[in-house]
Chain A
């Protein structure tokens, strides 16, 4: 019985939890319920992934209304994998949240914080699983509005402006998307993605379709912070509460990339894209973005901001796979989607543990901390190595497939840029590692914030979730059955011509 409704339960469970959590008294209850919900959702996402891992597709009719009239939830290998990422990250972020939120957010806002978190969680899962393009918009706004609220809870006042900036950009993006959807509906009379994909080929030449496509692309490029539409991201990630940064960095942009993948390959079809200059445009933007954002990351003085710029660069890698558009390219995108969530999650958590201890994310305040916080330091090193793409880590697998995809299509410039991006990553990762590893040149030059706070290892409640992700980084560097295997199944569905 429940088995049949699993697809919907994944989305509905956190949605129902949100109001319940909101009315609970502040204390540990909101946190406990949220955590349990996230674990339950994670378990369901695992089952769902197993169900579709053979290449089958689950179609769930919402309220028993048959598609294309009713809303359909359509689950295949691609979005089951993304749902797994989202729920998995939530399941490890929430245990981490307890301590971190207690420190960073005033007590009277706790239940509201977890309610907003649940809503954001719902939104991201909904975007992932729905097969209806307007339903996607609704979930997009659920996740966006709750994430604006979450970001604005940051301690510093810049969090407010960062959130405002994101609200303006995000709303423009979402509105662009809905314009595109409206135009598509005007032309085809359907909102179901499968239905759209069948009706669109006849209309490929039509200018309205091209306009709709452009609006959707720009709208989502804003959401996923594709260079040069990334301006909201660094501030939002820097000033948001640690937990929010971890969760959004590991999931929000990934979901947006997934939507791109879905819209381009499932709805429009890559043949349509190839006739437009979209793929070339993506590749150019990604190439410039990867290089420029990596350089920006090198010059940052704040660890969270450094990682934020690195995220923008990494999004470039994911979009490169889409731009290349081959089976290997999409595999690379999906694999990197997964792996990047793991590495950025681990890194932001580790930095968060440092922030928890010393109250600052400025790099110069972290001098010599490696000795006092060896586990956190080790997590940063391994996460950083994964970000660089050193073999034995998950990052290596992503790079492997991406470079292979570029070589296959003879895009030599892209090959060089990917590898150059890795080298720039070496520089910015090592900037962090060096500061943490070496003792300060002058002990008396310690800043005030350092004297006031404890230079001890972070509590276990922060370390264990961090290390779960760190271990996952290494595990998925050796066992790629889940990542690459699922991605290859997804490719078969996204690129039917490949079979």
Chain B
């Protein structure tokens, strides 16, 4: 049992990071912190992809004499795309936060909500 837990330590770590990020998104009222949480959440997925690409005793996937077993390079490529997407999302999110700050004068969710209600 212990061996099972220890043997999958990377997955446990991923789950912890994922939940931490997810929790931040849900619980924080500060719009920037939400974006930060979203980033942490996405990072856990990057780690997941990198984890699954690892092949036991596999070498770095660069062709070399005498090496027969490589790690799978495809997830690396995939996650590169996802990282790019993540960066774009973050940029767009932060841009929106700036606009919200200009329009409302605050980036706290509750304050914004109150301002909209009072209209």
Q: Is the CB of A178 within 8 A of B45?
A: yes
In the assembled complex, B60 has its CB within 8 A of some CB on chain A: no
Q: Is the CB of B25 within 8 A of A168?
A: yes
Q: Is the CB of A157 within 8 A of B104?
A: yes
Q: Is the CB of A148 within 8 A of B48?
A: no
A174 CA / B82 CA spacing, docked (Å): 10
A175: B residues at CB distance < 8 A: 41-42, 45
Contacts A138-B81, A152-B99, A164-B96 hold; do A158 and B116 have CB atoms under 8 A apart?
A: yes
- A interface secondary structure, majority: helix
Which segment, of B2-10, B61-69, B84-92, faces chain A? B84-92
In the assembled complex, B20 has its CB within 8 A of some CB on chain A: no
Interface flags for A181-213 (1: CB within 8 Å of B; 0: not) read 010011000000000000000000000000000
B85: A residues at CB distance < 8 A: 138, 141, 145, 174
A133 CA / B75 CA spacing, docked (Å): 13
In the assembled complex, B31 has its CB within 8 A of some CB on chain A: yes
CB within 8 Å of B: which A392-433 residues: none
In the assembled complex, A112 has its CB within 8 A of some CB on chain B: no
Please pick, from B22, B48, B81, B96, the residue contacting A167 in the complex, using a CB distance under 8 A: B96
- B interface, size bucket: 20 to 34
Interface flags for B34-51 (1: CB within 8 Å of A; 0: not) read 100010011001001100
Q: Is the CB of A164 within 8 A of B89?
A: no
In the assembled complex, B52 has its CB within 8 A of some CB on chain A: yes
B1: A residues at CB distance < 8 A: none
In the assembled complex, A35 has its CB within 8 A of some CB on chain B: no
A174: B residues at CB distance < 8 A: 85
CB-based A-B contact count at 8 angstroms? 67
- A interface, size bucket: 20 to 34
Q: Is the CB of B103 within 8 A of A182?
A: no
Return B86 CB to nearest CB of chain A, in Å: 8
In the assembled complex, A311 has its CB within 8 A of some CB on chain B: no
B93: A residues at CB distance < 8 A: 164, 167-168, 171
CB within 8 Å of A: which B65-115 residues: 74-75, 78, 81-82, 85, 88-89, 92-93, 96-97, 99-100, 103-104, 112
A172 CA / B97 CA spacing, docked (Å): 18
Q: Is the CB of A134 within 8 A of B78?
A: yes
A389 CA / B100 CA spacing, docked (Å): 41
A161 CA / B45 CA spacing, docked (Å): 26
Q: Is the CB of A172 within 8 A of B92?
A: no
In the assembled complex, A346 has its CB within 8 A of some CB on chain B: no
CB within 8 Å of A: which B8-34 residues: 22, 25, 31, 34
Q: Is the CB of A171 within 8 A of B38?
A: yes
Q: Is the CB of A157 within 8 A of B96?
A: no
Please pick, from B45, B78, B92, the residue contacting A145 in the complex, using a CB distance under 8 A: B92
In the assembled complex, A242 has its CB within 8 A of some CB on chain B: no
Other 11 A-B pairs with CB < 8 A, given A163-B96, A168-B38, A182-B52: A134-B81, A138-B81, A141-B89, A145-B85, A157-B104, A161-B112, A164-B31, A175-B42, A182-B49, A182-B75, A185-B52
Q: Which residues of B contact A (CB under 8 A)?
A: 22, 25, 31, 34, 38, 41-42, 45, 48-49, 52, 74-75, 78, 81-82, 85, 88-89, 92-93, 96-97, 99-100, 103-104, 112, 116
Q: Which residues of A contact B (CB under 8 A)?
A: 134, 137-138, 141, 145, 148-149, 152, 157-158, 160-161, 163-164, 167-168, 171-172, 174-175, 178-179, 182, 185-186
